[in-house]
């Protein structure tokens, strides 16, 4: 099961965003600006409008550090393609994988014959890995037989702008199921800090008002009906 927790974050993110949003046009100094105490609704309205108008640079002043567990290396390989972020991943070179498990896709879980094949291969692979290690083969070499589906953990740091961009792509229902599930959990984690910021994290069709894919899903249609 995918688990996402926030390890660290920008303190008072809405205050930071509001201050950044006003700075470009505000003529006074920061001391004067900090004395302004707008309502939360005013902050949200200003930030939402700037995001709507495409002025996303203010979002770069807020960042989150996430602890992510229970994803496969299939998904971590996709994740690190988002390069405006920082990642530290569990090392198969230095950490033993003997207690790690395969992430099994739902399509295989629903098929008893396919599930048996997957479980048999998992057992044989992990037994072979353990045997190589007991023979004195370094873990960095024994890992060559490990499958991409093996679970891993990773620390990910992203600012809010990159989260906005990444979620625009990965929350699309046409994304692969695991990375879609991951960013649904990322959005939930952000929501524990600020429901408003979480509300900005949506599939790109909801930002654009149209689907950029050749085979659109029902998300935009449902949103327009709501």
Does 57 carry a binding-site annotation?
A: yes
151-162: b (≥16 Cβ within 10 Å) or e = bbbbebebbbbb
The chain-wide mean pLDDT, for the chain, equals: 93
| Known catalytic membership, residue 170 | yes
Query: The pTM is what?
Result: 0.92
Question: Which pair of structure tokens corresponds to residue 46?
Answer: 């200003």
At a CB cut-off of 8 Å and minimum separation 6, what does 213 contact?
172, 174
Q: What is the pLDDT of residues 99-127, one digit of tens each?
A: 999 999 999 999 999 999 999 999 999 99
Does 160 carry a binding-site annotation?
A: yes
On the question of pLDDT at 226 being above 70, the answer is no
Does 170 carry a binding-site annotation?
A: yes
List 3, 153, 170, 187, catalytic entry: 170
For residue 171, which of 200, 197, 214, 193 has the smallest C-alpha distance? 200
Q: What sign does the CA torsion over 123, 126, 128, 130 have?
A: negative
Does 41 carry a binding-site annotation?
A: no
What is the C-alpha separation between 175 and 42, in angstroms, rounded? 34
Q: What is the pLDDT of residues 47-94, one digit of tens each?
A: 999 999 999 999 999 999 999 999 999 999 999 999 999 999 999 999
Q: Is 71 exposed, middle or buried (0-12, 13-18, 19+ CB in 10 A)?
A: buried
Does 101 carry a binding-site annotation?
A: no
For residue 130, which of 139, 117, 140 has the smallest C-alpha distance? 139
Task: Tell me how crowded residue 74 is: count the other CB atoms within 10 A of its CB.
Answer: 18
Is 3-87+151-225 CATH 3.40.50.300?
no
């Amino acid at each position: 099961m995918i688990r996402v927790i926030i390890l660290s974050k920008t303190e008072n993110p809405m205050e930071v965003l509001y201050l950044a949003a006003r700075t470009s046009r505000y003529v006074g100094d920061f001391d004067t600006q900090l004395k302004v105490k707008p309502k939360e609704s005013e902050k949200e309205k200003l930030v939402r409008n700037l995001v709507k108008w495409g002025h996303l640079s203010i979002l770069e002043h807020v960042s989150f550090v996430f602890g992510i567990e229970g994803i496969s290396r299939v998904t971590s390989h996709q994740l690190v393609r988002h390069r405006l972020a920082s990642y530290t991943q569990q090392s198969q070179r230095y950490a033993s994988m003997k207690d790690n498990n395969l992430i099994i896709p739902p399509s295989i879980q629903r098929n008893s014959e396919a599930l048996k094949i997957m479980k048999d291969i998992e057992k044989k692979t992990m037994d072979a890995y353990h045997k190589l290690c007991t023979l004195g083969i370094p873990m960095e070499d024994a890992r060559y037989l490990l499958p991409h589906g093996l679970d891993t953990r990773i620390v990910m740091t992203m600012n809010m702008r990159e989260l906005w961009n990444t979620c625009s792509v990965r929350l699309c229902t046409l994304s692969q199921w695991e990375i879609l599930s991951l960013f649904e959990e990322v959005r939930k984690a952000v929501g524990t800090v600020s429901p408003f910021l979480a509300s900005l994290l949506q599939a790109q069709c909801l930002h654009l008002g149209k689907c950029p894919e050749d085979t659109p899903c029902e998300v935009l249609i449902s949103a327009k009906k709501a």
